[in-house]
Amino acid sequence: MQAISVQQPWAFAIARGGKTVSNQEASTAYRGPLLVHASMRVDLKACDSPLIQAAGWDPRDPLATLGAVIAVARLDDVCSAAVRGEPCDCGPWAAPSTHHWRLADVRALPRPIVALGRPGLWEPNPTLVAEVELMLDSASADRPT
């Protein structure tokens, strides 16, 4: 299990808004489960962007918080075409000149778990991972069948 810290409102858009591409400065060879952590920084001008508005950005939503893990996803692939100035099929969320980390199976947490993040990819401690897994297990147990 690894984690990435993402600025709000982008982290929210991953958790709630169907954003399946995270634009990162660096590539990674890692593939697999990934915690999505909302960093302490906010990209203020992005909050008004049409993409973020269309993703249902709501500052009152608990997952709009800062400094917490808010979702779990799987890192499936990293597309570096845009870094080479080439076109790709990563969709509207993909930014120019960045690596496109392609996420699948995004699951929003029922509530945020406060945690310290780090820039880029980082390894969450086992206590944090256990807390996330416990929360997801109880969330699926509560789901009506």
Which residues lie near Zn ion (CB under 5 A)? 79, 81, 88, 90, 94, 100
> What's the min distance (Å) between Cβ of 55 and Zn ion?
19
Considering beta carbons, is residue 40 or 104 the nearer one to Zn ion?
104
Considering beta carbons, is residue 16 or 100 the nearer one to Zn ion?
100
Per the omega criterion (within 30 degrees of 0), is the bond before 9 cis? yes
> What's the min distance (Å) between Cβ of 90 and Zn ion?
3
Note the residue count of the chain.
145
> What's the min distance (Å) between Cβ of 14 and Zn ion?
16
Over the range 5-19, which residues count as b (16 or more CB within 10 Å of their CB) and which as e? bbbbbbbbbbbbbeb
> What's the min distance (Å) between Cβ of 74 and Zn ion?
17
Considering beta carbons, is residue 52 or 79 the nearer one to Zn ion?
79
Strands of 84-144, DSSP E: 99-114, 121-122
Considering beta carbons, is residue 1 or 28 the nearer one to Zn ion?
28
Task: Give yes or no for a contact between 37 and 5, defined as CB atoms under 8 angstroms apart.
Answer: yes
